[in-house]
Amino acid sequence: MVSFLFFAYNSYLKAMRSDPIDWETPFKIYEFLKRHEKVIFFKNPEKILIKAIELNPKSKKLYEILIKEYKNRGMEEKAKEIENFIQRIFKINS
């Protein structure tokens, strides 16, 4: 089942290059990997989350999940960098 997921994800990435509008699919894949992280070893789950953010940069929720992911992995500098970034963006847009 997991191999089919990765095959589908790679196929999705290829298709996304021509029509990059669907941000929910990478986010759902990220959620799936997090739910099954005891069974699936995925080295950098935040890469999928970053792809979702690239497709939907106005979602504050996605940035907050990314910050949480970085903090859980002990990457405090990256988390602080993203926090400062979203504070500037959402302060300007407010």
- Closest residue by Cα to residue 24 from 64, 61, 70, 71: 61
For 2, other C-beta atoms within 10 Å of its C-beta total 13
Provide the whole-model pTM.
0.67
Instruction: List pLDDT tens digits, range 5-62.
Output: 777 777 777 766 665 566 677 788 778 777 777 766 777 778 888 888 887 888 888 8
pLDDT at 92 exceeding the cut of 70: no
Backbone angles phi, psi at 49, to 5 degrees: -65, -40
Do you know the residue count of the chain? 94
- Closest residue by Cα to residue 65 from 55, 77, 52, 74: 52
